[in-house]
Copies of this chain bind each other. A is one copy, B any other.
Amino acid sequence: MRPALWFKLGIREWPNYVPLAPILRDYQKEDFSHDLVAGLVVGMVTIPQAVAYAFLAGVPPEAGLYACLLPMVLYAIFGSSRQLVVGPVAVAALMVAGTVSEYAPKYTTEYLQITTIICLQTGLFLWILRLSRMGGLVNLLSHPVITGFVNAAAILIIISQLPAFTGVDVDSGGAPWLVLGGLLEQISTIDWLVAAYGAGALVLLLVIPRIARPVARLFGFSISANHALTRIGPMIVAVAAVALVTLSGAAGNIATVGDVPSGLPPIKPPPFELQLWLDLLPSSAIIGLVAYIESYSIGTTLAARKQTRVNSHQELIAIGAANIGAAFSSAYPVAGSFSRSSVNYFSGARTPVSSLVCAVVIVLVLLFFTALFANLPHAVLAAIVMVSVVGLMDLKSSREHWSIHRHDTITEHATLILVLFMGVEIGLIAGVLISIAFFVRTSSRPNITQVGRLGATEHFRSIKRYNVETLPHVLALRVDENIYFANAVQIEDKFLKRAQRRRGTRHLLVVCSSVNMIDATGVQMLRRLNTNLARAGITLNLSDVKGTLMPLLEAVHLREALSGDIYFTADRAMKHFAKELEPDSSAAQTTLTF
């Protein structure tokens, strides 16, 4: 490898790539007391979620806990956000279930092995994006596409949990309408004991956050709306359910988590099989993009509250590393968790050390307490998952947007519907294509405004909106868009039409203050327009050309080709044209010289 490349990769600046190093160097005792509390609270929130999302993803429960170990630690080391908690999340779990269930039955070793391949591919994909500086790709997933996608994912997740929630025996890995249809068909086989656990858990999960503050006040505490106590509902519900199942001896009558092997995860690489790897690649890439966007947007939101910033490049490395860690520790794809990251933040975490504390909690659970999960009912896990994902949904923004950003709303709804009925991958890709199509469509119908001088100023504004001054023999048109292939013909057409309709026009002045780019099709159009206008005795002139655009116009020799000229500003152009109207300007000047 050439030294230049090493340098580009920044190997010499390694501390930039390990944000934890400077944090630990300046670490204070006081910081630790904050991080310790936050880490313990996050641990309490994480444990039931990890098991529940593992259930959703179709992997064994211990894989959920493994996903909170190595990946969480790796993110703590490499991540540029101080409060982001990385680990199992609902949306990634849904995407894993959708992909892997085509290849192997759920909750088997084979299924988990395929899942680890996805982890590795996801991590490597994010690293490749970083190395090839293509991280900007993620911006193609616009806000409406993500909103539509997340809403659809939440609906899909809730539907997938209904069988476990009711005890009706339907394959929850099928298409959502098949699951719903199966449920309705066999509604009579509902297991009332299971449903009672599920409904009880659901009610508790919904009530606890609302009564946490009044209850705390009863005991003489005053806690904020974001206090950790409002978030540990899942832990309380899980413990209560396990206790109830164990004490009532219902263990044999309802589906529960069952034996969870104790001990730390085995460290081993995912299996390699070329065809399978190739087949999984597209899904892994999309899981990677979604994991990255989720993590980055949560990280940015939290960082803004502390007036710090998250480094988008470093996040590619960190989320990539966390997923590669997941691949080697029998876990499943990870991303930043919104609920746990905010618990972390509001519990006072100051540095990623809180994540390390949380990892220690998980280690202790794995070593000593896995037996406790045996009697945890699936119905309770389903309730935990359903309540978590409802919090992800955003149904407001589309209603707000309808009157203003119609294209965005259409994109959001189309993405939602396509994800629901065609699957996550097709839905997301179609969403991106729809956003781009709307953007191109908008820019292909540019606004072209006739402008005139505003009073005695040097400003030129629309003749429709302002009382401006124009010259009879000059048509000044401002193009409010880049001139490129998708709109060049429309612009040419409008220019010609306006110039031919307005009697007495001798000069067409194109005000380019809003033109940032002209492509080859645009340049060709300007040359053709120039020729066509010249035949009608009208000169073509440009003004207010951006400094960044001038070199291009010079390279194609446009100034020489124009029948008119390129002026620095519309003001100068109009002053130049105004001289033509002075009845005998040269004579007047001569007189003055005398």
Residues of A within 8 A of B (CB): 136, 139-140, 142-144, 300, 304-305, 307, 309, 312, 397, 401, 403-405, 407-408, 435-436, 439-440, 442-447, 449, 457-459, 461-462, 465, 480-482, 484-490, 493, 496, 513-517, 519-521, 523-524, 528, 531-532, 535-536, 546-548, 552, 555-556, 569
| In the complex, chain B residues whose CB is within 8 Å of the CB of A528 | 300, 304
How many copies the complex holds: the figure is 2
- Kindly list the 6 A-B residue pairs having the minimum CB-CB distance in the complex, ordered from nearest: A142-B485, A408-B520, A143-B521, A405-B520, A480-B516, A465-B547
Given A404-B555, A457-B458, A514-B513: A524 touches B143 (CB 8 Å cut-off): yes
Contact A144 B555 (CB under 8 A): no
Given A480-B546, A482-B443: A490 touches B139 (CB 8 Å cut-off): yes
| In the complex, chain B residues whose CB is within 8 Å of the CB of A461 | 547
CA distance A408 to B552 in the complex (A): 13
Contact B532 A487 (CB under 8 A): no
Contact B532 A307 (CB under 8 A): yes
CA distance A555 to B404 in the complex (A): 7
Contact A439 B440 (CB under 8 A): yes
CA distance A535 to B309 in the complex (A): 12
| In the complex, chain B residues whose CB is within 8 Å of the CB of A436 | 436, 440
Contact A140 B440 (CB under 8 A): yes
Given A307-B532, A531-B304: A486 touches B516 (CB 8 Å cut-off): no
In the assembled complex, the CB of A433 is this many whole angstroms from the nearest CB of chain B, namely 9
**7 pairs of residues in contact across A and B, judged by CB atoms under 8 Å:** A139-B485, A139-B490, A142-B519, A142-B520, A144-B521, A403-B555, A465-B547
User: Could you list 6 further interchain pairs (A-B, Cβ under 8 angstroms) beyond the known A139-B490, A144-B520?
Assistant: A140-B485, A140-B486, A304-B532, A312-B489, A436-B436, A439-B440
CA distance A407 to B518 in the complex (A): 12
CA distance A31 to B323 in the complex (A): 78
CA distance A467 to B447 in the complex (A): 32
Contact A447 B401 (CB under 8 A): no
CA distance A528 to B310 in the complex (A): 14
In the assembled complex, the CB of A134 is this many whole angstroms from the nearest CB of chain B, namely 10
Contact A493 B312 (CB under 8 A): yes
CA distance A490 to B266 in the complex (A): 41
CA distance A194 to B459 in the complex (A): 73
A143 partner, pick from B407, B520, B546, beta carbons under 8 A: B520
In the assembled complex, the CB of A399 is this many whole angstroms from the nearest CB of chain B, namely 12
| In the complex, chain B residues whose CB is within 8 Å of the CB of A480 | 516, 546, 548
| In the complex, chain B residues whose CB is within 8 Å of the CB of A487 | 139
Contact A516 B485 (CB under 8 A): no
A548 partner, pick from B136, B401, B447, B485, beta carbons under 8 A: B447
Contact B489 A444 (CB under 8 A): no
CA distance A435 to B445 in the complex (A): 17
| In the complex, chain B residues whose CB is within 8 Å of the CB of A552 | 404-405
CA distance A447 to B549 in the complex (A): 11
Given A447-B548, A535-B307: A435 touches B136 (CB 8 Å cut-off): no
Contact B462 A459 (CB under 8 A): no
Contact A143 B485 (CB under 8 A): yes
| In the complex, chain B residues whose CB is within 8 Å of the CB of A443 | 482, 516-517
Contact B516 A447 (CB under 8 A): yes
CA distance A38 to B449 in the complex (A): 43
| In the complex, chain B residues whose CB is within 8 Å of the CB of A486 | 139-140, 142, 439
